[in-house]
Amino acid sequence: MNKLALPRGPVWLASDVHLGPATPATQEAFLGFLEAAADEAAALLLPGDLFDAWIGDDVIRAAPPWLAQALRGLQAAAARVPLYLGRGNRDFLMGAELAQAVGAQLLPEPALLQTAYGQVLLSHGDEYCTDDQAYQQFRAMVRNPQWQAEFLSRNIPERLQLAQQARGESMAANQSKSMEIMDVNPDAITQAFRNSGVHVMVHGHTHRPGRHVLDIDGRRCERWVLPDWDCDHAQPPRGGWLVIDEDGLQIFDLEVA
Ligand code: LP5
Ligand code: MN
């Protein structure tokens, strides 16, 4: 398991921000969050779906204005607090070029965080949605290095179009899936607790923030789920983050003016 030693002090985590050209209010809220994290956190971890769709790191070489602004915000934060980026199901193509450009490090999958509260297992969370067979097939396809090389060999407009098509098909498919199918599978979670030996796990992806207390082989375990962000189309606007310090874990809701 990939251990990640973190600096002493509060660890801040946020996922599923889904930044993109069509969500300026979410981006503004996230940029404010980055400043607050730089002021107060000892480390900032973003475990996946920071972007609505990431089609390859080469987009940063001629970044559109919304992306250039997001990158400046990440870079400014990373200059003040160690920043870690993890891949999600929409930005699994994030790589070394992006990380280096903003001064971040890529998170291992999963990561075993060494925090003031003990070891915490961190991942995006989509790998635990094993009942969603259509998604797991899609995941296996796009995580294949050969598929990725072929996709990245296409030009940017073509990749953007494919990403848009995939988002459309995903949204349509999700309408006919049950809430249970799109949530994590209890056996996959049990297995993750057993394999890692930890008592605490954090993930995002399901957009169902909360804390679940479980009994795993007589051990009291906690699964914490990060919230998603939407300050453009959701009413009321939503978003939030999680803090780990020596007292434990706590979810904070975004306060939108
Ligand atoms: O993302 P979200 O929360 O809406 O839904 C996810 C699962 N969907 C996905 C697909 C992504 O949203 C697509 C965007 C990726 C952009 C990256 C750029 C690379 C381009 C890739 C081009 C192929 O992850 C969804 C889960 C849900 O979480 C809950 O867990 O259910 O899974 C699906 O929707 C999978 C579908 O059931 C089947 C696959 C649809 C996509 C088909 C792609 C075909 C595109 C055309 C290629 C020629
Ligand atoms: Mn996700």
User: Which domains does the chain carry?
Assistant: 2-253 (3.60.21.10)
Is 138 close to ligand 1, i.e. is its CB under 6 Å away? yes
Is 182 close to ligand 1, i.e. is its CB under 6 Å away? yes
Whether omega before 10 lies within 30 degrees of 0, making that bond cis, reads no
Cα separation, 129 vs 178, whole angstroms:
12
Radius of gyration of the chain (CA): 18
Q: What is the mean pLDDT of residues 7-22?
A: 97
Is 152 close to ligand 1, i.e. is its CB under 6 Å away? no
Atom of ligand 1 nearest to the CA of 171: 4
Helix (H, G, I), strand (E, B) or coil at 47: strand
Residue 132 annotated as binding site: yes
Residue 2 annotated as binding site: no
**E strands, the chain, in order:** 2-5, 11-13, 43-47, 83-86, 105-106, 111-115, 118-123, 200-203, 210-216, 219-225, 240-245, 248-253
Residue 233 annotated as binding site: no
Atom of ligand 1 nearest to the CA of 91: 17
Q: What is the mean pLDDT of residues 162-186?
A: 95
Cα separation, 193 vs 216, whole angstroms:
7
Q: What is the mean pLDDT of residues 75-100?
A: 98
Residue with the smallest CA separation from ligand 1 atom 24 is 89
Listed in sequence order, the residues at least 6 apart from 157 whose beta carbon sits closer than 8 Å to its beta carbon are: none
Average pLDDT for the chain: 97
Q: Is the pLDDT reported for residue 148 higher than 70?
A: yes
- What backbone torsions phi and psi does residue 178 show, to the nearest 5 degrees? -75, 160
pTM: 0.97
Cα separation, 37 vs 43, whole angstroms:
8
